[in-house]
């Protein structure tokens, strides 16, 4: 009987992001046919379970200076090389660029190294300064060529890797992020405690979910929502997630004279609020399912899994047409939309222009006008809900896992 192939899966942590959720789902599903071993930099702030019986934690020391970061990189490479020599993986899959580098640097004989690109690296404005320049123009542009395969989660990311990093076309393959549709739809049926279920179902309720960070751009969403209420509309906004900007966003909402509920200071959700900061939710899907629309204002992405999960909850979507991913989920169109033609009522959701700091007032007005249209025309919601099941097939668990298996077969030929 042929023994199972060994797959080593590497990621910095199991924190509260979309890449981490995909890592968890992939590990769980691949372990049904392969011997999966997991490796993490650390398990701090763990949001998802370790799924493999055998796993390793590199535990690097906290690093603040450039010298400390270089020492950390050396120590991670040393430890990972020892792990690879011990378990002799057939395939090593890394997610997020910090894990990609050490995976590439530690390649051993007969192993196939695969880097999974989960987010645009070229359009990530948080990569800045001299360290950011070195990371973008040296590490990203040069070292990814050493991998045996690059898996991107969107076609636009694939073009990015070919054009910016000069990766040969035969090395790059798109495999979309996937959702466990059955799991999501089952979790969406869970009840919501207290008065919130009534608030969500009664009002023109909006929900968003993601880390409270610059990338997700919740500050702009709060400005949109404030203007929407100022024009005489009634609505509630639910923000699910936590992050470094928690206090700043709560303060900004209060500065707009919005009535704010904060899970970190208010206790039970009693009373009437405009904005509900709900913190990280193990089951966000029960909120998605009861909201009228899912709103997404990210400045950059890869292929945002949360949009697929919203579809699975039968909640229609309004999203920025940021690089990369939302357009590939919500539309069959290739070209980005222009501000002159926004909003784009695409086949599977509504796309808004990418957020441009040079014209915030124009973008804000477009968003408010669009939300007012959706509030007035309930048939638009039903139209998009009816189309979602058709689109979900492209992001199903089985579709993606079969694509990964095909890639493994190709690499072993």
Q: Is the Cβ–Cβ distance between 342 and 360 less than 8 Å?
A: no
pLDDT at 336: 66
The closest alpha carbon to 215, from 334, 281, 296, belongs to 296
Quote the tokens at residue 244: 């470094």
pLDDT at 196: 87
pLDDT at 341: 61
Cβ-based neighbours of 365, under 8 Å, separated by 6 or more: 227
Alpha-carbon gap, residue 141 to 134, rounded angstroms: 10
Q: Which region holds residue 88: left if phi is over 0, alpha if psi is between -120 and 50, else beta?
A: left
Alpha-carbon gap, residue 13 to 58, rounded angstroms: 10
pLDDT at 356: 63
Quote the tokens at residue 44: 């701090």
pTM, two decimals, is: 0.90
Q: Determine if the peptide bond prior to 246 is cis (ω within 30°).
A: no
Quote the tokens at residue 410: 């190709």
Per-residue pLDDT tens, the chain, 413 aa: give them: 458 999 999 999 999 888 999 999 999 999 999 999 999 999 988 999 999 999 999 987 777 787 888 888 899 999 999 999 999 999 999 999 889 999 999 998 889 999 999 988 777 777 767 777 777 777 777 888 899 999 999 998 998 888 888 888 999 999 999 999 999 999 999 999 878 888 888 889 999 999 999 999 999 999 999 999 999 999 999 999 999 999 999 999 999 999 999 999 877 676 789 999 999 999 999 999 999 999 999 999 999 999 999 999 999 999 998 888 999 999 987 666 565 567 889 999 999 987 766 666 778 889 999 999 999 998 999 999 999 988 999 999 999 999 999 999 999 88
Q: Phi and psi (nearest 5°) for 194?
A: 70, -150
- Torsion angle of the four alpha carbons 266, 267, 268, 273, in this order, in degrees rounded to the nearest 10: 10
Buried b / exposed e along 146-181 (16+ C-beta atoms within 10 A): ebebbbbbbbbbbebbbeebebeeebbbbbbbbbbb
β strands within 181-291, DSSP E: 205-209, 236-240, 260-262, 275-279
What structural domains does the chain harbor? 6-178+396-412 (3.40.50.2000), 181-394 (3.40.50.2000)
Cβ-based neighbours of 209, under 8 Å, separated by 6 or more: 239, 240, 241, 281, 284, 287, 288, 294, 306
pLDDT at 124: 72
Quote the tokens at residue 1: 């009987």
Alpha-carbon gap, residue 96 to 116, rounded angstroms: 7
Quote the tokens at residue 30: 């691949």
Alpha-carbon gap, residue 160 to 123, rounded angstroms: 10
pLDDT digits (tens, 9 = 90+) for 163-191: 888 888 999 999 999 999 999 999 999 99
């Amino acid at each position: 009987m042929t023994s199972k192939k060994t797959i080593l899966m590497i990621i910095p942590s199991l924190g509260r992001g979309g890449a981490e959720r995909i890592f968890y789902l992939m590990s769980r599903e691949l372990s049904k046919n392969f011997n999966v071993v997991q490796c993490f930099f650390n398990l701090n702030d763990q949001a998802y379970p370790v799924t493999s019986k055998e796993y390793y934690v590199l535990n690097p020391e906290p690093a603040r200076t450039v010298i400390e970061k270089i020492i950390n990189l050396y120590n991670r490479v040393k430890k990972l090389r020892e792990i690879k020599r011990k378990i002799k993986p057939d395939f090593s899959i890394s997610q997020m660029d910090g894990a990609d580098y050490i995976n590439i640097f530690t390649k051993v004989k007969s192993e196939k190294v695969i880097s999974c690109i989960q987010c645009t690296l070229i359009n990530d404005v948080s990569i800045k300064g001299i360290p950011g320049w070195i990371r973008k123009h040296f590490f990203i542009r040069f070292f990814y060529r050493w991998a045996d395969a690059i898996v991107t989660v969107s076609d636009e990311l694939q073009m990015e890797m070919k054009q910016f990093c000069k990766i040969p076309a035969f090395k790059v393959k798109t495999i979309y992020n996937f959702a466990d549709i059955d799991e999501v739809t089952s979790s969406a049926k869970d009840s919501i405690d207290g008065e919130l279920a009534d608030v969500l179902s009664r009002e023109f309720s909006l929900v968003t979910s993601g880390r409270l960070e610059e990338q997700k751009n919740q500050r702009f969403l709060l400005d949109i929502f404030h203007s929407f209420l100022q024009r005489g509309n009634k609505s509630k906004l639910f923000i699910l997630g936590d992050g470094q900007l928690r206090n700043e966003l709560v303060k900004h909402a209060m500065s707009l004279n919005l009535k704010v509920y904060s899970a970190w200071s208010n206790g039970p959700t009693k009373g009437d609020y405009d904005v509900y900061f709900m913190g990280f939710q193990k089951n966000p899907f029960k909120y998605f399912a009861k909201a009228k629309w899912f709103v997404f204002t990210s400045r950059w992405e890869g292929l945002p899994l949360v949009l697929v999960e919203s579809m699975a909850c039968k909640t229609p979507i309004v999203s920025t047409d940021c690089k990369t991913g939302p357009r590939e989920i919500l539309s069959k169109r290739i070209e980005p939309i222009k501000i002159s033609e926004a909003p784009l009522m695409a086949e599977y959701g509504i796309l808004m222009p990418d957020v441009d700091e040079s014209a915030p007032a124009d973008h804000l007005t477009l968003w408010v006008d669009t939300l007012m249209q959706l509030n007035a025309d309930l048939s638009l919601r039903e139209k998009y809900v009816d189309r979602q099941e058709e689109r979900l097939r492209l992001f199903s668990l089985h579709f993606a896992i079969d694509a990964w298996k095909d890639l493994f077969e190709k690499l072993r030929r």
